Structure 1
Amino acid sequence: MTRTQEHKHERNPLVLSVTSGKGGVGKTNLSVNLAYTLGKMGKRVLLMDADLGLANVDILLGLAPEYNIFHLVYDEKKLDQVLVPTEYGFSILPASSGVPEMLKLSTGQKLELIEALEPLGQETDILIVDTGAGIGDNVMYFNLAVQERILVLTPEPTALTDAYATIKVLHNKHGVHRFRVVVNMTTDSKQAKQTFQRLAAACDKFLDGVSVDLIGFLPQDPAVRQSVIRQVPFCHTLPSSPAALAVRKIAENILAWPQTAKTDGNIKFFWKKLLFNN
């Protein structure tokens, strides 16, 4: 097979968000370990910290980014100065100064930012956008710009209620129909499936045309807390732990998703939607 033929068979970049209806459900920890696992599976992964109120990706990894994407415009920094490579096989794109500044950019500045970020489309297989929790505008902006949304919840009644609220807003106000679901902090697979079924039943009863798909669950695992304290991915330190094995199954599910039609490079399209359509 020639290089050209190989290129034709490459998977187009995938842009997905990891989001939640409430905080404390392990959303960012899943994002970090998913980025690590997909990287170990041969994918070029970029993790964007879009939790603008409580950015925690850098904390979970013991990092202190000096710049974020807005420095590309305001301080004329280069992309390689903003990207933060990690020792775990994936990079971080900090965005801690927030969507409000992004939306206040002039049209010219927005175009400059898109041009500066364009190389990411050729250098990235999967962009994971770790959003904030809840249904605020910042969270909605990012969830509307991505191709796929992974909604994280726990068996707690409040987490279930808030997850449903997130789906309801994205569906009723913004026309989003498909959601991938991960149930975290479960006692076993039975509890995970019961939690998901309650969410799916509510969607079937009250929301017309919504598709929810359980792509995995993470059991309660001491390895998770230990890794948070040590500021390292648990999939790296304890790859055979129940939580790490569960993340790998989720990663395998993601890679098995049908390939979407190419939309102007997908990652570039993400930035266009984020900057111009909100």
Structure 2
Amino acid sequence: MSNSQTGRPLTVAVTSGKGGVGKSQLIASLAVALKQEGHRTLLVDADIGCGNLDVLFNFRPERDLRAVLSGECSARDVLCTVPVGDVELDVLPAPAANRHGSELAPAELITMVDAVREVGRDYAVILVDTGAGVSRNPMMFGAAADRIMVVANPEPTSLRDAYTAVKVLHDAHGINRFELVVNMSQNPKDGKRVYRQLVSVVEQFLPVEVGLLGVLPADDRVMRAVRARQPTTVAYPQSAYSHSVRVLMRRLLEHNADSQASGQVRYFEPGAHAAGTGAP
């Protein structure tokens, strides 16, 4: 499976306007589900300075993407193959923060995107954990992808922050299509209510389209999986959460043909930097 329109890997940025909405557990569980279905999947931890996929997958990388930024090695040299349940996942570990903090310079962000593109040629799906918030780092990776998955929970603050992420990506990068995942929902009806609330605000102020990609239930086994340092689809494959992740995965793949993010520049495409539009 790849981007059916171009033959390139399908690149999905998973972002959120705030932390604590379960984004990293979702992306880890989704990566496992994709690999179990036979899709060549690359998982990129782009949460600079705060990456936690190594914790979720219980491994310690010898090097991370900071070594690529410093010119010590290529992206392929930091690629980690991690056994997770009955599959192996390929992970690019997040750069550690440096003395300047976790914010990367524009040139460093482009270097990271180039590194992902170099390695990603060998895969069908690239999942990018952008980190939370609306700073330059997560927004650049959101703008670089084919699809943008915004994760929120039913809390009003989470909904507000999801709107902010959509607004920043539209205003700064011309993105006009997003896909919402409502996590920690009490039931499907609650998830759809949250979605309608977001859409009602978006329609008032932004010329963008927000689709509902999936609703994930509040499930105490998710936290148990986090404590066990495993994706929920591995620790509790029969749980309601894991079932919902697999449903979400199928929707993601089914809608690939006609659900591009529709921004001005796709930085993961070869030669995209030359256009320069929307770069930070």
Pairwise same-fold verdict (TM > 0.5): yes
Q: Please say if 1:179 is aligned against 2:178.
A: yes
Q: CA deviation at 1:95?
A: 2.9
Q: Which residue of 2 aligns with 1:19?
A: 15
Q: CA deviation at 1:102?
A: 6.1
Q: CA deviation at 1:117?
A: 5.7
Q: CA deviation at 1:78?
A: 4.7
Q: Which residue of 1 aligns with 2:263?
A: none
| Higher helix proportion (structure 1 or 2) | 1
Q: CA deviation at 1:140?
A: 1.2
C-alpha RMSD of matched pairs (Å)? 3.0
**Aligned positions, number:** 262
Question: CA offsets, 1:235-265, max 9 Å, x none?
Answer: 012111000000001100111123379xxxx
Q: Which residue of 2 aligns with 1:3?
A: none
2:64 and 2:104 map into 1 onto residues whose CA distance is 12
Question: CA offsets, 1:141-193, max 9 Å, x none?
Answer: 11111111000000001001111111111112321100011000011001000
Counterpart contact for 1:220–1:243, Cα < 8 Å: yes
Q: Please say if 1:50 is aligned against 2:46.
A: yes
Q: Please say if 1:147 is aligned against 2:146.
A: yes
SS in 1 for 2:92: strand
In 2 relative to 1, CA 79–271 (structure 1 residues): closer, same or farther, beyond 3 Å?
A: farther
The residue type paired with residue 37 of structure 2 is M
Question: CA offsets, 1:35-72, max 9 Å, x none?
Answer: 11111111111111111142111111112112123423
Q: Please say if 1:253 is aligned against 2:257.
A: no
Q: Which residue of 1 aligns with 2:211?
A: 213
In 2 relative to 1, CA 271–244 (structure 1 residues): closer, same or farther, beyond 3 Å?
A: farther
Counterpart contact for 1:69–1:93, Cα < 8 Å: yes
Q: Which residue of 2 aligns with 1:124?
A: 123
Q: After the TM superposition, which segments of 4 or more aligned residues of structure 1 sit over 4 Å from their partners?
A: 8-11, 98-102, 116-119, 270-274
SS in 2 for 1:164: helix
Question: CA offsets, 1:177-219, max 9 Å, x none?
Answer: 0001100001100100000000011111121x21001011110
Counterpart contact for 1:153–1:184, Cα < 8 Å: yes
2:247 and 2:166 map into 1 onto residues whose CA distance is 24
Counterpart contact for 2:150–2:179, Cα < 8 Å: yes
1:273 and 1:82 map into 2 onto residues whose CA distance is 23
Structure with max Cα Rg: 1
SS in 2 for 1:183: strand
Task: Extract unaligned runs of 5+ from structure 1.
Answer: 1-7
Q: Which residue of 1 aligns with 2:25?
A: 29
Q: 1:103 aligns with which of 103, 106, 115?
A: 106
1:142 and 1:267 map into 2 onto residues whose CA distance is 9
In 2 relative to 1, CA 268–175 (structure 1 residues): closer, same or farther, beyond 3 Å?
A: closer
1:145 and 1:258 map into 2 onto residues whose CA distance is 16
Counterpart contact for 1:120–1:267, Cα < 8 Å: no
Q: Please say if 1:92 is aligned against 2:91.
A: yes
In 2 relative to 1, CA 76–172 (structure 1 residues): closer, same or farther, beyond 3 Å?
A: closer
Q: CA deviation at 1:271?
A: 9.0
1:72 and 1:271 map into 2 onto residues whose CA distance is 20
Q: Which residue of 1 aligns with 2:191?
A: 192
Counterpart contact for 2:144–2:267, Cα < 8 Å: no
